[in-house]
Amino acid sequence: MAAASVFTDEVAQSISIGEAQHAVAAGTLEASAITPLGDVLTGRHKGRQSASEITLFDGTGVGLQDLAVAAMAVTRARERGMGTTVAV
């Protein structure tokens, strides 16, 4: 992890329950070096800078973000006439 650019859905969770917790505890990764994925999506961080850059995503499971992604996937599928509606 020390050689990679680390991205996460939630930094606090990443350093407490995610895979990054081990690198932070060992002192090989600073919590401040972990980039929230939202910063990439909003343009505050450029994301991957080159083809040789190693990137890691430490997803810890933020339910609200999962729902937002799922809603967007459904919207895109409907726009393309894809998917199957299932009666509940």
Residue 61 to residue 71: CA distance in whole angstroms: 16
Beta bridge partners of 4: none
CATH code of the domain covering residue 19? 3.40.50.720
Number of separate domains in the chain: 1
Measure Cα distances from 10 to 3, 33, 48, 50, 69 in Å: 20, 13, 18, 24, 15
pLDDT tens-digit profile of 19-65?
Answer: 999 999 999 999 999 999 999 989 999 999 999 999 999 988 777 77
Say if 66 falls within a structural domain.
Answer: yes
Say if 41 falls within a structural domain.
Answer: yes
pTM for the predicted model, two decimal places: 0.69
Say if 84 falls within a structural domain.
Answer: no
Q: Is the dihedral of CA 10, 12, 13, 18 positive or negative?
A: positive
Q: Which domain holds residue 16?
A: 5-79
Q: How many helices (H) and strands (E) does the chain have?
A: 4, 3
